[in-house]
Structure 1
Amino acid sequence: MATRVYDVVVVGSGAAGSIAAKELTERGLDVLVLEAGRAISTDDFKTDFKGPREKGIQLWARIRAAASGQPIQSRVAFYGKQLKHLFVNDREHPYSSPKDAPFLWIRGKQLGGRLHTFGRVLMRWSDVDFKAASRDGYGEDWPISYADLAPYYDRVEQFLGVRGCNDNVPNLPDGKFAGPSKLTAAERDFKQKTESHWPGRRAVAWRYMPPNARRVPAGMLAAQETGRLTLRTDAIVTRVITDPTTKKATGVEFVDRVTRQRETVSGRSVLLCASTIESVRLLLNSAAPHAPGGVANGSGTLGRYFMDQVPNLIIGSVPGRTGFEIDDTLPPDPFYGASGGVYIPRFENLNGHANPAFARGFAFQGTIGRLFSREGQAAKFGIMGFGEMLPNVANTITLNHAKRDAWGQPIPHITCAMSANELAMLREQSRAIREMVEAAGLEVEFAGSALGLQESGRGAFPEADWFSRMLFRRYFAQSMTMGAAIHETGGARMGSDPQKSVLNSHNQAWDVPNLFVTDGSCFPTGGCSGATLTIMALTARACEFIAGEHAAGRL
C-alpha cells in the first residue's frame, strides 16, 4: 500500500464515506477507504437473541454494558441490548468535556459506523436551513442553496430506496420516494387532532431508508462492484500528510487497530468522512510547521462553531389501545424490526410568525402505537424533540494533549453548552409537544430534558421494578445533556469567505485544494432535522466536483 498512489483516499465508511466510495469509483477513480473500526459479519446481526426486543429503560442491560466499558454509550435514549456491540468501548475511546457542560458522544466503530444504529430517518433540508442567517442575523449562511443540493438529494434517495410521502410542507421539501410510508392508526388520530387544533402544525410519516439486508453499506457494495475500491478496516487515521512547499495533501498516516503498526498511504486527493468530531480532531492533529494550528486552519475557525441539536423526550401510553401495531409497509427486518413513525416539522419562526423568545425552531420525531408493549398492556408512545443550536464560536472541539486514547492519540475535548437562546427554545419545545400529545388524548408518563424530569399519572416506566425506576429518575437529566440528540455538526464549516470558514462551496479546503470534508463537520448551521441525508447529498455533490477536477488535472 505504501508504493501505490490512489486517486482519492477516503477516511470513514459511514453515511459520507460509503456514498463517497460509490460516487468516486463509479466516476472512474481508484479509491482507498480507510475505516477505523472492524469489519462486520452476519454474527453482528444475529436474530436469536434472548429477552425482549423493546427499547426503553432496560436498566440491567445498561448496567452490564457500563460495567463492560460503555458507561457513555449505555446512556443512549432508546437503548436496545442487541445493539451493544455496535457502539464503541468508552475506555478505548475516551474524550473530555467541561464539568459544567457535559457532552454525550455516542459512536460506532465498525464498517458502516453509525449507519447500523441510527433511526434511518432521512429528511431534506430547505433554504429555511441553508439561508437561516439571512433571516435572523445569527451566524453565516451556507454557500449553497437548496437548488444546488436538490439533484443530489434526488440521487441519494433513489439509490437508497427511501420511503416517504409528498406532504407539501414548504420547509420540509418532498423527495424522490420508492414508495409511500405510513402512519399507524394512533398516529393518524394524533395527526388529525393536531392539525385541526393548530393549522400551522403538521404531522407526517417518516421518510426513511429501509433496513439493508446485506448489512454492508449499500454505497460500499456498489463501489466494490466497480473493481476500483480498496477497503482497509482497522485503520485508525492519525494524520493528514501535507507537503510544506505545495501545501497539498499527499496522503495519510494510520495505525493498525490490532497490531499498532503505523503505515502511510498516498493519494492525489484526501476526503475526510470520519464523522464530525473525528474529522476535526484529525485536522487539528495534523498540525505541521507550515500549519501550526492544524491543517486547513488558515481562518482560525477549525474546531469552532461546533453544534448539536437540543433534545427533549416525552413518553406515555395510548388510551384505548393495547399491544403494538406492526407497520406492514415493508417486511420487518429480522434484526431491527419494523421501521416508521411520525414526524412534526418545525413550525416556529416561519411564514411571518415570529417567537420573540428565541431564534430558529425545533422539530419532533417519534412513534405512537409502535413501541413494543406486551399483550394486554397499554400501547405506548415516545417522541423526541430536536431544537436548533445557534452557531457559537465558544462551542469547540480541541485536542486534550494531557490524555491519550488506546492508540496513543490525544483525545478530543468537546465544549458544547446551551446559550440563553437554546434554553428558551428547550422550554418552549418541551411545552409545545406536551400540549400536542395531551390535546390528542395521550397519557403522559414522563417528560423531560437536561433541565429535569417531570412525571405524570403512573410515572416513568410503571411496569419496571422500583430499583430501575429509582436509578432512572436519578440519572435521567444526565442522559439528556448535549450530545443526546446524536446530530452533531460544525467545526470545519463551509462558507463563502476563506477568512470565516474552512471549506468552500464544494467542501474543498481553502488552504489545501486537494483536501475535502463532507461529514457533519462541514455544516455552518445545525438545523432541527437529522443531518444524514444532507451529509450524503453534499458528499455526492463534492465527489462529482472531485472527479471533474481530477479529469481536468487540477488535483
Structure 2
Amino acid sequence: MQIIESPEIYDVIIVGSGAGGGMATKQLADAGFNVAVVEAGPYFDPADPKTMTQLKWPYESPRRGANTDRAFGEWDMSYGDWEVEGEPYTHVEGTEFKWWRSRMLGGRTNHWGRISLRFGPKDFKGKTRDGYGEDWPIGYEDVKPYYDKLDKLIGVFGTNEGLENDPDGFFLPPPKPRLHELFYINGAKKAGIPVIPSRMSMLTKRINKDRGVCFYCGQCSRSCSVYADFSSGSCLIFPAQKSGGKVKLYVNAMVREVTTNAEGKATGVSYVNKEDRKEYKLRAKVVVLAASACSSARILLNSKSGQHPNGLGNSSNLVGKYLHDSTGSSAAGFIPALMNRDISYNEDGVGGMHVYSPWWGDNTKLDFPRGYHIEVWGGIGQPNYGFGFNPNDFNKFFGLRVGGYGDSLREDVKKYYGCVIGFGGRGEGIARKENYCEIDPTTVDQYGIPVLKFNYKWSDLEKRQAKHMQDTFEEIIHNMGGHYLGEKPGKEKNYGLNAPGEIIHEVGTTRMGNDPKTSVTNKFQQLHDVDNVFIVDAGPFVSQADKNCTWTILALSMRASDYIIQQLKQQSI
C-alpha cells in the first residue's frame, strides 16, 4: 500500500483526544510546542447547533429518546458503544469483556457522569495495605499538586470533609440534595453509611470567560452548549488552539502503529483516513498515546519492527497485561412514601447525583479487599423513553394493578412517578496478570488493522464485594420504608456483578513501575524501551481505586506533560 507522508515534523503527536490526550494537548500547546492531535472519530463541538441535543424535548425525537444503535439512547452524546460497526474484538473462550469505544473529538469525556474523585494515599499503596497487587512507584504526595491545579483549571463542586482516603480539594459550591436524595441520606445514615455532596466537574460558579455556569437542565449526558460541564474538547483542546503553540487536528484518523527508525526510536505514527481509506504518516520528535488503555496497548502491540519484534515497549511481555475494570452492581427500590408527589416544580439539578457515599468499610472485618462507593439516582427529571416507569414490575412484585391505556395509564404514571430510587456500587477490582488483551492474529477490522482478543474473569474477591453491595442496598431500601424492586441477584448471578468492561473504567495495560522487567512505563509514563513515547491514558495505572479514574488520568497526564516539556527544552528526547 502506498503511504502518504506529511512533510511537517511536529514537536509532539498525541493519539486520542479524551481526558489524557486533551490535557497533554493543553499543556504542550500552552508551552509553545507544535502539536498534532490524531482522533479516530469526527470533529465535535457541543455548542454547534447542528450537533447539539441539549434542551430538546423527547417528542422532538421519533423514538422519544430511544436509539437502536446507542447503548445509552439517543440523548447520550457519545458517538460510541460496546460494539462499533466494522471494529470487532474477540475473546478467549470462556471469558468475557465488553470494550467501550467513543469515536469523537473529546472521546469518552462526552459520555461520563463527570464524577471527579481524587485517589487517596491508600489507593497508591495497595500491596502495602492488604498484600494484593502491587504498589505504585509514586504516592499521593506526587500527584496532589496536579490534583490541586486540576480542580482550579477545570472546576469541580463538592465539600471538604477531612476524610483520609477521599482527599479534599478546591471545590465550587455543590447543589442541594433533592427529595429522593434526602430519603437516601436518612436511609444510609441509619445503616452507618456516610453521605456527602458529590464531587463532579460541572460549574456552579463562573471560573473564566470561556465557559458558562450550569443552569440545572439536568442534561449533561447530551453535552453542554455553554461548556458548563467538563469535556476534553470544550475545556482543554479548544482553549489550547487559542494559546501560544499550534494545534493541528486530524479527525477520522485510525492509528495503525507507531513508526520507528533503525535505532528503534519513535518517528511518528501511521494512520488510516476513514474518509478516503488511504494510509498516511505523521512525523514528530515525541509520540504520546492517549487512545484509552486498550487502544494504546493495541497500537503498541501492532507496532512491530526489527528492533521491537514483540511490539513497541513490550520487552517485558506485559503490554496488555493487568487489565482491570471497576466492579459494579446495581439495585432499585420502590419507596411508597414518594407516591403521589407534587410534580409541578423543576427538580432537575445537574446531570447526575447531588450526593454520594464514599467507602466506609473496614476491610479487616470483611471477606474482600478494597472497597466501593455508592452512586444514587431517582427524582422527577424529564421523562423520555426508558425513564424508569415499568408497570409490569409493580404488577409482578407488589401486586399493584398499574398501567393500562389512556387516562388510567396517565394517572398511574403521575402516582408512581419519582417513587423509585436506584443505587450503583462502583468498586475496585484487583489487578491480575491473567486478565489481559492481546492481538488476535486471525482477525482485522475494516481498516485492515489487527484487533484485540480479551481474556478476563472476575475472581471470588470481586464477587464477594458485589454481595456486600447488594446487602447494603437492601438495608438502605428497608431503612427508607421501601421494597427492593425486582429479584435480588444471588450467587448464581454473581450478585449482579456487571460484566468486565461494562463500567467503562478499564485501566492497567501499560502499567508503570521502576523495574523494566515488571512494568511498561516509568513513573513519568515514559516507555522503558523507547524514551520518546509516553502513555497518558489509564494504561499506566498499577491499580484502580474505589473511585472513577478520569480525575487521576487528567492529573497524571498533566504531570507527564510537565516532564515532556522539561525533557524537550533540555533536548533530552
* TM-score, normalised relative to structure 2: 0.82
Instruction: Provide Cα deviations, 1:90-125, integer angstroms capped at 9, x if missing partner.
Output: 222211123422222222101111111111111111
> Equivalent of 2:44, from 33, 40, 51?
40
Aligned to 1:471: none
Aligned to 1:260: 277
Deviation at 1:61, TM superposition (A): 3.6
Secondary structure at 1:153 match in 2: helix
- After TM superposition, the structure 1 stretch with the greater mean CA deviation from structure 2, 188-197 or 132-141, is 188-197
For 1:311 and 1:451, the matched residues in 2 are separated by: 15
> Equivalent of 1:416, from 427, 433, 456?
456
Equivalent position amino acid for 1:204 in 2: I
- Whether the 8 Å CA contact 2:90–2:454 is kept in 1: the answer is yes
Equivalent position amino acid for 1:348 in 2: G
Aligned to 2:368: 358
Equivalent position amino acid for 1:91 in 2: E
Instruction: Provide Cα deviations, 1:344-399, integer angstroms capped at 9, x if missing partner.
Output: 212234xxx51341222222212243555654424222211122111111100101
Deviation at 1:423, TM superposition (A): 1.8
Aligned to 2:360: 347
**Does residue 51 of the first structure (1) align with residue 58 of the second (2)?**
yes
**Does residue 93 of the first structure (1) align with residue 87 of the second (2)?**
yes
> Equivalent of 1:213, from 193, 207, 225?
225
User: Against the structure 1 CA distance between its residues 60 and 286, is the aligned structure 2 distance closer, same or farther, given a 3 Å change threshold?
Assistant: same
> Equivalent of 1:404, from 441, 444, 452?
444
Which structure would you say has the larger Rg?
Answer: 2
Aligned to 1:492: 510
Aligned to 2:313: 296
For 2:172 and 2:367, the matched residues in 1 are separated by: 40
Aligned to 2:565: 547
Deviation at 1:176, TM superposition (A): 1.1
> Equivalent of 2:536, from 518, 523, 527?
518
Secondary structure at 2:335 match in 1: strand
**Does residue 3 of the first structure (1) align with residue 15 of the second (2)?**
no
Instruction: Provide Cα deviations, 1:296-349, integer angstroms capped at 9, x if missing partner.
Output: 1122211110001121111233332237785576xx6xxxxx343332212234
For 2:490 and 2:155, the matched residues in 1 are separated by: 36
> Equivalent of 1:184, from 169, 174, 178?
178
Deviation at 1:195, TM superposition (A): 2.6
**Does residue 164 of the first structure (1) align with residue 158 of the second (2)?**
yes
- Whether the 8 Å CA contact 1:365–1:385 is kept in 2: the answer is yes
Pairing 1:111-260 to 2, within 5 Å after superposition: 111-198=105-192, 201-210=193-202, 211=220, 212-213=224-225, 216-226=233-243, 227-245=245-263, 247-260=264-277
Equivalent position amino acid for 1:87 in 2: G
User: Against the structure 1 CA distance between its residues 141 and 448, is the aligned structure 2 distance closer, same or farther, given a 3 Å change threshold?
Assistant: farther
Identity of aligned residues (%): 29
Secondary structure at 2:158 match in 1: coil
User: Against the structure 1 CA distance between its residues 195 and 302, is the aligned structure 2 distance closer, same or farther, given a 3 Å change threshold?
Assistant: same
Deviation at 1:84, TM superposition (A): 6.9
> Equivalent of 2:379, from 365, 369, 391?
369
**Does residue 529 of the first structure (1) align with residue 536 of the second (2)?**
no
For 2:490 and 2:572, the matched residues in 1 are separated by: 49
Equivalent position amino acid for 1:208 in 2: M
For 1:413 and 1:80, the matched residues in 2 are separated by: 27
> Equivalent of 1:286, from 299, 303, 307?
303
Stretches (4+) displaced over 4 A: 47-50, 323-329, 370-374, 447-454
Deviation at 1:266, TM superposition (A): 0.9
Pairing 1:456-475 to 2, within 5 Å after superposition: none
Instruction: Provide Cα deviations, 1:51-75, integer angstroms capped at 9, x if missing partner.
Output: 3799xxx99946x32xxxxxxx52x
Secondary structure at 2:359 match in 1: coil
**Does residue 82 of the first structure (1) align with residue 75 of the second (2)?**
yes
For 1:238 and 1:107, the matched residues in 2 are separated by: 16
Instruction: Provide Cα deviations, 1:495-543, integer angstroms capped at 9, x if missing partner.
Output: 1222111111111111111111011111110212100000000000110
Deviation at 1:178, TM superposition (A): 2.6
Deviation at 1:443, TM superposition (A): 3.0
User: Against the structure 1 CA distance between its residues 323 and 115, is the aligned structure 2 distance closer, same or farther, given a 3 Å change threshold?
Assistant: farther
Equivalent position amino acid for 1:487 in 2: H
Long gaps (5+) in structure 1: 66-72, 333-337, 455-475
Deviation at 1:421, TM superposition (A): 1.5
- Whether the 8 Å CA contact 2:78–2:107 is kept in 1: the answer is no
